[in-house]
Structure 1
């Protein structure tokens, strides 16, 4: 099950080691404990019960299972969660702009269960009973922008990378850049935040999977602009510079954002794929499905008036999302991403089966080799015993015959 080493200090005392530490020494043993790891999504880890320090498990069946759980399975679960939250958020974003047959608007199509019931996004990340972070998944600007036009301003965007170091990453933008240029620069940096232009021609940022701990999945860690790109141009932050920066490590930092609350999505509950479901407003009244597109009568970007019965333009917009490169962190459509994910999981399953078969064959060959070297075949040993017995009897008769011959020769020599 786990890697162990055995030694003796004397003939009466046996010592069993795990990872270089004593598990058993003579009549004394150290108990182990399986305890939930809050930094690993509630998964269990093995500790020495008395000291609560990690047990070093380097090989064996348990090491293999832990490696698969924290490696392959974690990646696949996170990818499924990323698929679920991006699909949910994008469809909800479009659906909220439409109107149902009952003239209702601003309804989600899928449920969004936030990690915090606090409208400010404040959340207790370290489980000490006190909110210590502002957990935001997505922020869209208030202003419509032309993504292909030169922005005409210069400055530096500052982000915090989604790893344990929380290191600052700075990305410059220049007057000749377009927003698409800046977005590409941000996305190529792989900092845990991706930028895109949403269906309302607004600049938006979404958080991705965390590199350090699953508890920080889908949390934007830092947004700062030394200039006006995220401030007056896109309408995301209230102020430029460090004093206007949004940082997840402070509570109530949503107040640094000028974007309206309908343009902000709080980070979802852990493992959003596990509770993906149709919103209750749709479940209990299908007339709430926003098939009609709204009209922006005031030019504010708010689609506040329905196009009326018979309009299905919002339904078409929702259907078109199937072909949109919506999995922005991987630049894939939902269908492509899902197909690739299923294919990868299938390949990993087949690879695991092949490895098991290979290991079983190797184990069988080693067992046969050991048996051939040290094993005892009773039938073969009995046959050998009979053969040796016959050989002994024959040898005894030969020796007796030689003895008589020598005796005869001696007598002849004596003239007897």
Structure 2
């Protein structure tokens, strides 16, 4: 009996020792990130029959389990993904908000200074000092737009670097998870230390994207990222990489590869900080760039057009202040061809009407034999285009030119009509005397159809016979159906039979003007091209551009374009802050739930430590008692 008692005591000591070891391990790992509490399950040994009775034979540790709730862990991963996405969005939007509200304030200030200079020029149109100051103001706004584009390019570069860095870390995690799976297969998923490492890596992975975990019978786990990318399959790890953008190389994409197969990942399904970076780039950064470029086009075109409506100090029609809006330096990046196109067409975008531009990007698609469609990437509206010669007409303020080659059925292009303007805008006027402060008088007849307009092109010879001045005005009757014109003097007398002209320009009596027509009609325009050095009419008109709604189809001023973009960025930044607060609350709730089940409670473990210590001491006391009984028995038979 004493031998059985000794054996029972031995099992109790061993069981209590194991319980103490597990409890001690829990206590020492209480602050270890990703550690899951362990519990030793104690069971009775099979009873032994002695005579007609059954007696217990002791105890043993039947299992040591890791406290893990798959549902709670999944909710924690979902919360982690949402919080990381919200954090990344908040950081990027905060940077953009500061960029537009702090650094970018030089743009509205530059516009304000330019208009202030033009008001001063209107007061003293012959003052060369004021004229030089106006050119300086023009250079200031151009430099401000250049600087803003440079900062936005920096944001694009930074975002690409962040995408590449996260992709590299995902690859490292994928490799580590593959190795852990390999080891878990050997232990059939029983190694609790490896399981903790696995969960910690999966949780980190959920920061970068949405994670789906698929448990395998072998004890390993397969991992899907973004709902569609198999990142880890058993012990096989896939790799992700960055590749050049399509159709714009500078806008990185990510792809996953296994062997020789590559698959481009859809970032809209990714989630996490990686998905947030793509969302920020595609839905905020690129549109903001296009809107700043739209403003640059508006500034350059508005003042260049205004110059053409006036005379400089030399008596000539005003020249461009800024680089022409369709100059190659202003048109960089307007067309991007997709890499899977089979045609060889080279396209070019020509801006026809800056006021009709929306700041959107478009997708041009071609279906043989003659279907050209332009889809607005913001509104989704599809507009059919008409091919006239080598021009595709019907865009919102722009025309597409096929400079060479041909489109093949299925070819697609991304069209960004405003792209490149903010980096390319520059002042090309160097002579302040060429600012066109004076203005001609061109009057349209009240009975005109409204389908025809005229614009000065040049003064060729002010000494030409019948050159129109005050008191000797000339009236041109223009037939845009037959492309002929007839000229009448101030008394209404015809100066000759109708003459033919080659559209769009008419040159006669010492000057040239352009005829713009939307439909055939016969309309009359009276010209008074008198020039006086003190004339300020065109300077007044240019200063009035500050309040003119010449952008976005007549709904916005130049300043409004920037302010609307800034307000949109500010609104998104505020929304990102609110979303972050909500995401943090959801994550905290999920985290607390996991901790309540799997985390270490030091008070509980301290109580267990005392309980198992007492059990150990009691079992040891039984061993002492058994030993005494055994010795007594031996003594009695000596």
Output the TM-score relative to the length of structure 1: 0.56
Q: Which has the larger helix fraction?
A: 2
**3-state SS, counterpart of residue 439 of structure 2:** strand
In structure 1, what is the Cα distance between the partners aligned to 2:347 and 2:384? 10
Deviation at 1:105, TM superposition (A): 3.7
Larger radius of gyration: 2
In structure 1, what is the Cα distance between the partners aligned to 2:217 and 2:599? 30
After superposition, the Cα gap between the structure-2 partners of 1:80 and 1:330, relative to the gap in structure 1 and judged at 3 Å, is farther
Alignment of 1:13-412 (within 5 A): 14-18=221-225, 19-40=227-248, 42-49=250-257, 50-57=260-267, 58=269, 59-103=271-315, 105-112=317-324, 114=326, 116=328, 126=337, 132-138=346-352, 163-164=363-364, 211-212=376-377, 222=385, 247=393, 251=402, 270-277=419-426, 279-281=427-429, 284-294=430-440, 297=468, 301=513, 307-329=531-553, 331-383=555-607, 385-386=609-610
Query: 1:5 is matched with which residue?
Result: 212
In structure 2, what is the Cα distance between the partners aligned to 1:131 and 1:165? 12
CA contact (8 A) 1:112 1:268 kept: no
Deviation at 1:54, TM superposition (A): 1.3
CA contact (8 A) 1:33 1:48 kept: yes
After superposition, the Cα gap between the structure-2 partners of 1:354 and 1:41, relative to the gap in structure 1 and judged at 3 Å, is farther
Query: Which of 1 and 2 has higher RCO (CA within 8 Å, sep 6+)?
Result: 2
In structure 2, what is the Cα distance between the partners aligned to 1:46 and 1:316? 53
In structure 1, what is the Cα distance between the partners aligned to 2:553 and 2:249? 22
After superposition, the Cα gap between the structure-2 partners of 1:287 and 1:274, relative to the gap in structure 1 and judged at 3 Å, is same
Query: 1:398 is matched with which residue?
Result: none
In structure 2, what is the Cα distance between the partners aligned to 1:318 and 1:118? 22
In structure 2, what is the Cα distance between the partners aligned to 1:114 and 1:94? 17
In structure 2, what is the Cα distance between the partners aligned to 1:268 and 1:104? 32
**3-state SS, counterpart of residue 286 of structure 2:** helix
Kindly tell me the number of residue pairs found equivalent between the two proteins. Answer: 293
Query: 2:169 is matched with which residue?
Result: none
CA contact (8 A) 1:292 1:306 kept: no
CA RMSD of aligned residues (A): 4.5
* Structure 1, unpaired ranges of 5+: 141-160, 168-190, 193-209, 214-219, 225-241, 254-266, 395-416
Output the TM-score relative to the length of structure 2: 0.39
**3-state SS, counterpart of residue 352 of structure 2:** strand
Query: 2:122 is matched with which residue?
Result: none
In structure 2, what is the Cα distance between the partners aligned to 1:95 and 1:25? 67
In structure 2, what is the Cα distance between the partners aligned to 1:370 and 1:47? 33
Deviation at 1:92, TM superposition (A): 1.5
Moved more, 349-358 or 30-39: 30-39
